[in-house]
Amino acid sequence: MRPPEFWKDKDQIESRDAAVVLRALLTPVSWAYAAVAAHRMRTTISRHVPAPVICIGNLTVGGAGKTPISRAIRARLGPNAHTLSRGYGGRAVGPLRVTPDMEAIEVGDEPLLHARDGAAWVSRDRYAGALAAVQAGAHVILMDDGFQNPSLAKDLCIVAVDPAYGVGNGQVFPAGPLRERLRDGLARADAIVMLHNTWSADIPEHPDWLADFAKPILQASVSPIGEAPSGPLIAFAGLARPEKFFDTLEAVGAKVEDMVPFSDHHPYSEDDMRLLAQMAEQRGAQLITTEKDAARLSPAWRARVAVLPVAARFADEAALDALLAPIQSRITALHGEA
């Protein structure tokens, strides 16, 4: 789904009258949603597995950059790090070990990206998935999402935040984008990663809603890997905020003739792709999308679409190493190495 306009911070909303009315109508529902979420977190017994668990989560509905952060952290943890995801958008219940040759309709798009980096699992039961990973040799488990899922005990919780969006209007779903009350989420977070799309002096490093957060706040940015293709491009993306991809293309100097947004995790049909291909042909352009979107294309279309991979780069890598040090020490104590 695309975030509705009234979820944004009040300074970003174009039609404030409509936003006030919609938020008022949905506020009682959001109170109930927040109460249910809090009750679940309070009453569910979290179960431990015999390996450290790191969770990369977020406070809001939609993308905040969890997957690139997860991949960047995984690269520092050694070859015996396994990634665990719910497999959103896929049919598999799991636990299922993901291989790069699987399709997104089966396991979801993000797990396919993780499978390119090494061992990756999908499981709707996070505890069962973590246990399967440990039995298969995982020395550490990295959860992509699951911050609001209390079934699996976590040793380190890192919350991803898109600084350009923040926490929106600060309200809980459906009156706003928050998955739970802000104070509850921040109380469980061990660190925040502000993942900038591009560095900007206009974005405050520490927004007001983080004024009382006394734990580490790390800064990172999304950086393209390589260069965009030369010549005119038609860009398309099915993300929570597809404009982030479009901004990245423009930041690297790509010649973008048109931009086509789709909803998050959009399942591309043949009709979708034919229309995009026709648009590109009329403009004498090439189609380009994200790695995550490419995972949802059929093999035939994947071969015809350019991809701009990105990676999360941390401004202070020493701060990240310090955050991960207790996990690394535990891995070394258990196994002698990661």
In the predicted model, what is the mean pLDDT of the chain?
Answer: 91
63 is in an annotated binding site: yes
Instruction: Tell me which residue of 94, 132, 87, 83 sits closest to 110, measured CA to CA.
Output: 87
What pLDDT sits at residue 64? 84
DSSP 229: P
pLDDT value at 2 more than 90: no
Q: 139 and 254 share a domain?
A: no
Q: What is the DSSP string of 6-53?
A: GGS-TTT-S-HHHHHHHHHHHHHHHHHHHHHHHHHHHHPPPB--SS-E
Residue 9 domain flag: no
Asked if omega into 174 is within 30° of 0 (cis), the reply is yes
Angle at 228 between CA 227 and CA 233, to 5 degrees: 170
pLDDT value at 100 more than 80: yes
DSSP H or E run through 3: none
Phi, psi of 120 (to 5 degrees): -140, 145
Pairing of strands 217-224, 191-196: parallel
Domain count, the chain: 2
For residue 104, the domain's CATH number is: 3.40.50
- Measured CA to CA in angstroms, residue 8 lies from 37, 100, 174, 257, 283 at distances of 22, 36, 12, 28, 34
Q: 65 and 214 share a domain?
A: yes
Q: 169 and 283 share a domain?
A: no
CA distance 19 to 168: 12
What pLDDT sits at residue 251? 87
66 is in an annotated binding site: yes
Q: 298 and 210 share a domain?
A: no
Pairing of strands 306-307, 286-289: parallel
What pLDDT sits at residue 18? 57
154 is in an annotated binding site: no
289 is in an annotated binding site: no
Q: 167 and 203 share a domain?
A: yes
pLDDT value at 1 more than 80: no
**Tens-place pLDDT, residues 77-99:** 999 999 999 998 899 998 999 99
62 is in an annotated binding site: yes
Structure tokens at 120: 């990756």
Residue 18 domain flag: no
Residue 29 domain flag: no
Phi, psi of 29 (to 5 degrees): -65, -40
**Tens-place pLDDT, residues 12-60:** 555 555 556 676 778 888 889 899 999 999 999 999 999 999 999 999 9
CA distance 55 to 130: 12
Rounded to an integer, the average pLDDT of 159-183 is 92
Residue 59 domain flag: yes
CA distance 296 to 109: 6
What pLDDT sits at residue 194? 95
61 is in an annotated binding site: yes
Residue 45 domain flag: no
DSSP 78: -
Q: 175 and 188 share a domain?
A: yes
pLDDT value at 198 more than 80: no
Q: 199 and 328 share a domain?
A: yes
Residues found in the chain = 338
**Tens-place pLDDT, residues 304-336:** 999 999 999 999 999 999 999 999 999 999 888
What pLDDT sits at residue 256? 96
The answer to which of 28-37, 103-112, 145-154, 178-187 has the lowest mean pLDDT is 28-37
Q: 271 and 148 share a domain?
A: no
Residue 114 domain flag: yes
pLDDT value at 115 more than 90: yes
Residue 155 domain flag: yes
**Tens-place pLDDT, residues 274-298:** 999 999 999 999 999 999 999 999 9
DSSP H or E run through 94: none
Angle at 180 between CA 213 and CA 28, to 5 degrees: 130
What pLDDT sits at residue 11? 58
pLDDT category at 74 given cuts 50, 70, 90 is: very high
Structure tokens at 5: 């306009």
User: What is the span of the domain harbouring residue 279?
Assistant: 226-308
Structure tokens at 3: 């975030």
Listed in sequence order, the residues at least 6 apart from 25 whose beta carbon sits closer than 8 Å to its beta carbon are none
Please enumerate, as own/partner, the contacts of 33-41 that have beta carbons within 8 Å and a separation of 24 or more: 33/172, 33/173, 33/174, 34/172, 34/180, 34/181, 37/148, 37/172, 37/179, 37/180, 37/181, 37/184, 38/180, 38/181, 38/184, 40/150, 41/148, 41/150, 41/180, 41/184, 41/188
Q: 67 and 178 share a domain?
A: yes
Residue 274 domain flag: yes
Q: 213 and 273 share a domain?
A: no
pLDDT value at 303 more than 70: yes
| Strand ranges for the chain from DSSP E | 53-58, 81-85, 96-98, 120-122, 140-144, 156-161, 191-196, 217-224, 232-238, 255-262, 286-289, 306-307, 310-314
Q: Which pTM value belongs to this model?
A: 0.91
Q: 155 and 283 share a domain?
A: no
pLDDT category at 62 given cuts 50, 70, 90 is: confident
CA distance 126 to 53: 11
Q: 262 and 321 share a domain?
A: no
